Structure 1
Amino acid sequence: MARLLRIEYAGALYHVTARGNARANIYANDDDSQRFLSLLKIAVDRYDWYCHAYCLMDNHYHLLIETNRASLSDD
């Protein structure tokens, strides 16, 4: 069964997380994690988000994102 659609609205807070396949590491080295942060900055700017916090672990990450408009799942 598919999950329900995410409710989106301006000013919403989201806990976004992702984990590597089979809990494998998702960053090969510090350069990879810095590249991830660079891409996160691009997404934050593009979709008009505010990133309150992030935590990068070896095999997963957590983001606390606030949307200034309903844009979390925009293309």
Structure 2
Amino acid sequence: MEQLEFFSVPSPCVGVCSVDEKGYCKGCMRKREERYHWLSFSPSQQLHIIKLCRQRYRRKIQQGKTSTLEVEQPQNSQQDLF
């Protein structure tokens, strides 16, 4: 049974409307279908989409951290003296 929502769920759009290489909006991390059909989704579906967007954002940030760590650590062929 779906819980009734008394307030509408605001759109997660932040006005940065461009798409990354995976097809997600760079601003709100929604897929194309999620952006186009936002108003036709039920409030519970909208909340679920927002949860997915947060997960996508965290995953993107985590991948960015690991790739910068790999770049920042130079391979030193000389052994450490200490």
Relative to its length, the structure with more strand (as a share) is 1
Higher relative contact order (CA 8 A, sep 6+): 1
Q: TM-score, normalised by structure 2?
A: 0.30
User: In proportion to residue count, which structure has more helix?
Assistant: 2
- TM-score (structure 1 length as normaliser): 0.32
Q: Which has the larger radius of gyration?
A: 2
